[in-house]
């Protein structure tokens, strides 16, 4: 991070910062514009048992002022996807394929050094565990000011002023005195606020929040979610919320991509996907939630457990647990394709149009203009149309 | 109702700690806890981290001794027991831990882990043949195969490990199992499997559960009664449906409201978002402990600690809340209207308590 220089992205963000809050900054994305488009993303991990594919042909898009949820259970590849987007994968991981088009630039094609310039001004990330994400030997003021020193070339004194401002923005009381405190002197909720402050310091267009509230109590979780909503509205950021919690998705997200064993198995607007799931896995997850059931009633659980990464079968990734499994599921992996018979999402910016602009595998490369028609609902199942007849 | 299996009355536990900011060295982790657990029933214990849930669990396991108060287990006070009597009492209360990866010894195989309690309680299954048969039986009860006894913990998934933890707790045929966040480390699809298992075991064996969890949806599903803890006190307790549908303590209402709900209709609801954080248990507020975050707090709340009030519940069950100004009960209304009214109340209070989003 120390050699990154003050380049074009930083200049834009300075302009954005000047008008922060007003929502009228030049170059700021308008609500519902496509900010990020991910296509065919694949990540390999080199293990001692050979190379395994942790993320496979993942595709989705994130829009300004909206929240996209990446939903899945542990090991499904959702955090790996986030790290791939942010360019902070572990050394044993390789970006095997795909495009990550952020505001017209394909991040996947850039060198690591070039990518650094995007970290902060264009893209911010919030991690789950605030205590390990923060450096224990520096004060929070130093850590909050880092973005301003590196990307805007501010000196320590100027950065401190910005850091205090930032702490106010995320609701940390008495920032003038607390700026000299160390991370361990803050509560879990306050640490998470500091982490969020670092991520939004340079008003990025895209904020990735990787399980931001999993370690927090529910009343604090509600506060943090409220803060994220506020910041999203103020900056018209596109937010990617990574979570395993269906209820959080239902309450916070506009659209959802459900991941299983490294693949997106279903995506679409949350209200539609949850009301009428078209992949057996999504359906099974929704039925596993104990809500709306007679107390003590038998829960519909999904039998078995997800496949190991080195043991993902040919054909459908969900075949071993699927109640609808047929021969074709074992022979052929279903592509993520539009679901027939589902309504097309409405869009205040552009009218919805089923099929076009749909980020399924094989779509020709075109840089998004920002006014992409909204993709239809998609599911990767041979029987997504018949799922409710079974 | 018959005599409860376990009755706790006025349990208090104070820890001595290094000096806090205010110079206080006494941390009152439990402050007058009173509870009952019925035979074959499940008591849900909810509250945020630091509220004393785990201290209560540890005290019931006799890992801590209380400063004041009594525990009565079928009429006997376990803290008065010594020697063999104490040992036989310990057999009757067992525990399942939260983290299935940390609570199983990686150097032992599953069978040895399940059989280990019998090393202390030697009389139970004296011969190795009996022990082996019982291990197979326990594995079967928790949905594992007999051959799994020879596997080591790292060969199992998280859900399977938790099953081993449950089998170990069952090994001594206890009357009460304390389940400390038993499913919070598990994925949703596996969580449902384990909850179903716990439910079946309770029906089959008539064991009582004390189910500690922060996940209100899960607690609502498993518990017969719920107790809500805040800073070492139980601020509300009652039958599960009653407490969830008509919370009387503002904290309970806020907790329910803050917990995300899976509403597939996609309607966004108004929420009570509490301001501020849990005060330090070293320096709890005077009077009512919740008053610093409560939107109903008045002068009296700072001066007088509220006594537990028995409130009328529509179904005749006992509903107790510690509040000077309990929220209105919505008596005799149908569930739907009640929920709507509660929603309206929440909106009003949210407007009063927090600036609009």
Query: Considering only alpha carbons, which residue of chain B is nearest residue A254?
Result: B266
Q: Looking at beta carbons, which residues of chain A come within 8 Å of B262?
A: 246-247, 250, 274, 286, 289, 291
Q: B204 in contact with A at a CB cutoff of 8 Å?
A: no
Q: Is B254 on the interface with A (CB under 8 A)?
A: yes
Which 8-state DSSP code applies to residue B229? E
Sign of the CA dihedral running B107, B109, B110, B114: negative
| Structure confidence at residue A197 as a pLDDT band (50, 70, 90) | very high
Distance CA A339, CA A265 (A): 12
User: Within 13 Å and on the Cβ side, how many CA atoms surround A28?
Assistant: 25
Q: Which positions ≥6 away from A216 have C-beta within 8 Å?
A: A188, A189, A192, A224
Cβ A343 vs Cβ A278: under 8 Å:
no
pLDDT at position B274: 87
Q: Which of B187, B192, B261 sits opposite A247 (nearest CB)?
A: B261
Q: Which residues 261-280 in chain B show a CB within 8 A of chain A? A: 261-266, 268, 271, 273-275, 277-278
Pair of tokens at residue A117: 């310039």
| Integer Cα distance of A304 and B81 in angstroms | 45
- pTM (2 decimals)? 0.82
B residues 7..46 contacting A (CB < 8 A) = none
**What is chain B's mean pLDDT, rounded?**
86
Q: Are A263 and A379 in contact (CB under 8 A)?
A: no
CB-CB under 8 Å, A302 with B273: no
With a cut of 50, say whether residue A1 has pLDDT above it.
no
Predicted local distance difference test score (pLDDT) of residue A354: 36
Neighbours of B316 (CB within 10 A): 9
Mutation test of the interface with chain A: which of B47, B145, B184, B189, choosing the one with the most A Cβ atoms within 10 A? B189
Which among A218, A221, A229 has the least Cβ separation from residue B357? Answer: A229
> What confidence score (pLDDT) does residue A390 get?
58
- Subunit contact A217:B214, Cβ cutoff 8 A: yes
Question: Would residue B8 be called left, alpha or beta, if left means φ above 0 and alpha means ψ between -120 and 50 degrees?
Answer: beta
Q: How far apart are CA B184 and CA B76, in angstroms?
A: 33
Q: What confidence tens digit (pLDDT) does each residue in A24-54 have?
A: 333 556 778 999 999 999 999 998 888 999 9
Q: Which of B327, B334, B326, B342 is nearest to B261 (CA)?
A: B342
CB contact under 8 A, A73 and B255: no
User: What is the side-by-side strand order in the sheet with A50-63?
Assistant: A50-63, A34-47, A93-102, A105-106
In which residue ranges of chain B is CATH 3.40.50.300 found?
6-223
Residue B2 confidence (pLDDT):
62
Tell me which residue in A219, A275, A299 faces B274 most closely, judged by beta carbons. A219
Give whole-number Cα distances, A81 to A293, B16, B134, in Å: 34, 46, 46
Of B217, B257, B271, the CB nearest to A291: B217
Average pLDDT, chain A: 84
Among the residue ranges A18-27, A301-310, B327-336, the one predicted with the least confidence is A18-27
Cα–Cα distance for residue pair A183/A190, rounded to 1 Å: 9
Tell me, what's the pLDDT at A372? 60
The Cα of B254 is separated from the nearest Cα of chain A by a number of Å equal to: 8
Supply B249's token pair. 């303590």
Which long-range CB contacts under 8 A does B102-107 form with residues at least 24 apart? B103/B165, B104/B153, B104/B161, B104/B164, B104/B165, B105/B153, B106/B152, B106/B153, B106/B154, B107/B152
Q: Give the tokens for residue B235.
A: 């601020």
CB under 8 Å to B137, separation ≥6 — which residues?
none
Choose from A188, A213, A245, A296 for mutation: most chain B CBs within 10 A: A296
Question: Which pLDDT value is given to residue B26?
Answer: 87
Q: pLDDT digit string (tens) for B201-225?
A: 999 999 999 999 988 999 999 999 9
Beta bridge partners of B239: B225
User: Per-residue confidence at A357, pLDDT binned at 50, 70, 90?
Assistant: very low
For the stretch A206-261, pLDDT in tens is 999 999 988 788 888 999 999 999 999 999 999 999 999 999 999 999 999 999 99
Strand-pair category, B6-16 with A378-379:
unpaired
The confidence band for A359, taking pLDDT boundaries of 50, 70 and 90, is: very low
State mean pLDDT over A153-166: 95
Min Cα distance B182 → chain A (Å) is: 15
Interface of A with B (CB under 8 A): 73-74, 187, 189-190, 217-223, 226, 229-230, 244-248, 250-252, 270-271, 274-275, 284-286, 288-291, 293, 295-296, 298-303, 305
Residue A114 is encoded by which pair of tokens?
A: 């070039």
**Are A274 and B218 a contacting pair at CB < 8 A?**
no
Q: For the purposes of burial, counting CB atoms within 10 Å of the CB of B196, is it exposed (0-12), middle (13-18) or buried (19 or more)?
A: middle
Superfamily of domain B6-223: P-loop containing nucleotide triphosphate hydrolases (3.40.50.300)
Predicted pLDDT at A151: 93
Pick among A291, A306, A323, A346 to test the B interface (most B CBs inside 10 A): A291
Residue-wise pLDDT for B261-274, tens only, equals 887 655 566 778 88
**B336 — pLDDT class (breaks 50, 70, 90):** very low
Tell me which H or E stretch contains B114. helix B110-115
Q: Exposure string (b/e) for A138-169, b if CB count within 10 Å is 16 or more?
A: ebbbbbbbbbbbbbbebeeeebbebbbbbbeb
- Cβ separation of B261 and A229 shorter than 8 Å? no
Q: What is the mean pLDDT of residues B53-77?
A: 91
Confidence of residue A320 (pLDDT cuts 50, 70, 90): very high
pLDDT reading at B332 higher than 50: no
N-to-C CA span, chain B: 47
A295: nearest CB among B220, B257, B265: B220
| Closest listed residue to residue A81, CA positions, set A200, A198, A210 | A210
Q: With a cut of 60, say whether residue B348 has pLDDT above it.
A: no
What whole-number distance in Å separates Cα of residue A200 and Cα of residue A113?
A: 21
Mean pLDDT of the region B279-304: 91
pLDDT digits (tens, 9 = 90+) for A82-130: 999 999 999 999 999 999 999 999 999 999 899 988 989 999 999 888 8
Best of B47, B262, B346 to mutate (most A CBs within 10 Å, chain A): B262
């Amino acid at each position: 991070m120390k050699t990154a220089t003050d380049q074009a992205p930083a200049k834009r963000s300075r302009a954005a910062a000047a008008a922060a809050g007003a929502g009228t900054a030049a170059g700021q994305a308008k609500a519902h514009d496509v900010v990020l488009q991910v296509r065919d993303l694949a990540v390999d991990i080199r293990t001692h048992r050979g190379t395994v594919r942790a993320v496979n042909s993942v595709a989705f898009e994130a829009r300004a002022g909206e929240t996209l949820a990446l939903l899945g259970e542990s090991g499904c590849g959702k955090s790996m996807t986030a790290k791939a987007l942010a360019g902070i994968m572990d050394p044993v991981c390789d970006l095997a394929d795909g495009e990550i088009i952020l505001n017209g630039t394909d991040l996947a094609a850039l060198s690591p050094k070039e990518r650094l310039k995007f970290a902060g001004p264009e893209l911010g990330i919030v991690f789950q565990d605030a205590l390990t994400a923060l450096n224990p030997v520096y004060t929070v003021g130093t850590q909050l000011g880092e973005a301003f020193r590196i990307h805007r070339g501010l000196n320590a004194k100027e950065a401190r002023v910005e850091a205090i401002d930032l702490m106010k923005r995320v609701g940390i009381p008495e920032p003038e005195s607390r700026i000299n405190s160390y991370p361990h002197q803050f509560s879990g909720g306050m640490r998470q606020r500091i982490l969020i402050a670092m991520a939004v310091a340079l008003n990025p267009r895209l904020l990735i929040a990787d399980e931001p509230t999993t370690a927090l109590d529910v009343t604090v979780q509600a506060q943090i979610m409220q803060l994220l909503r506020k910041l999203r509205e103020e900056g018209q950021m596109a937010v990617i919320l990574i979570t395993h919690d269906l209820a959080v998705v239902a309450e916070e997200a506009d659209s959802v991509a459900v991941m299983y064993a490294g693949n997106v198995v279903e995506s679409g607007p949350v209200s539609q996907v949850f009301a009428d799931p078209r992949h057996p896995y999504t359906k099974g997850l929704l039925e596993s939630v104990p809500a709306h059931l007679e107390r003590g009633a038998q829960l519909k659980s999904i039998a078995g457990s997800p496949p190991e990464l080195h043991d993902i079968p040919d054909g459908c990734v969900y075949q071993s647990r699927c109640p609808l499994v047929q021969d074709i599921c074992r022979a052929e992996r279903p592509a993520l394709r539009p679901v027939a018979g589902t309504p097309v999402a409405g869009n205040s910016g552009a009218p919805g149009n089923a099929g076009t602009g749909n980020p399924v595998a094989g779509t020709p490369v075109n840089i998004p203009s920002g006014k992409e028609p909204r993709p239809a609902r998609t599911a990767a199942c041979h029987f997504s149309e018949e799922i409710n007849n079974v | 109702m018959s005599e409860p299996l376990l009755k706790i009355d006025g349990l208090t536990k104070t820890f001595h700690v290094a000096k806090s900011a205010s110079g206080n060295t006494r941390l009152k982790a439990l402050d007058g806890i009173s509870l009952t657990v019925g035979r074959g029933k499940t008591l849900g214990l909810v509250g945020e981290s630091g509220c004393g849930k785990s201290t209560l669990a540890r005290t019931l396991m006799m890992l801590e001794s209380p400063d004041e108060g009594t525990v009565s287990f079928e009429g006997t006070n376990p803290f008065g027991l010594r020697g063999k009597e104490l040992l036989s009492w310990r057999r009757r209360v067992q525990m399942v831990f939260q983290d299935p990866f940390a609570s199983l010894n990686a150097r032992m195989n599953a069978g040895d882990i399940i059989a280990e309690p019998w090393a202390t309680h030697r009389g139970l299954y004296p011969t190795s043949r009996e022990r082996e048969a019982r291990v197979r039986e326990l594995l079967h009860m928790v949905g594992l195969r007999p051959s799994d006894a020879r596997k080591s913990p790292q060969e199992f998934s998280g859900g399977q490990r938790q099953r081993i933890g449950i089998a170990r707790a069952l090994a001594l045929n206890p009357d009460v199992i304390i389940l400390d966040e038993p499913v919070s480390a598990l994925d949703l699809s596996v969580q449902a499997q384990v909850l179903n298992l716990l439910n079946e075991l309770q029906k089959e064996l008539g064991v009582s559960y004390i189910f500690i969890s922060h996940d209100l949806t899960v607690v609502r599903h498993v518990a017969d009664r719920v107790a809500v803890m805040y800073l070492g006190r139980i601020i509300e307790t009652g039958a599960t449906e009653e407490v969830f549908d008509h919370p009387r303590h503002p904290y309970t209402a806020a907790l329910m409201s803050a917990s995300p709900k899976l509403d597939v209709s996609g309607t966004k609801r108004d929420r009570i978002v509490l301001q501020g954080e849990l005060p330090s248990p070293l320096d709890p507020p005077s009077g009512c402990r919740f008053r610093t975050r409560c939107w109903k707090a008045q002068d009296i709340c700072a001066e007088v600690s509220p006594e537990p009030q028995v409130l009328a519940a529509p179904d005749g069950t006992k509903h107790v809340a510690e509040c000077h100004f309990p929220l209105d009960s919505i008596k005799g209304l149908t569930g739907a209207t009640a929920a709507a009214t509660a929603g309206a109340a929440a909106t009003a209070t949210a407007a009063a308590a927090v600036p609009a989003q």
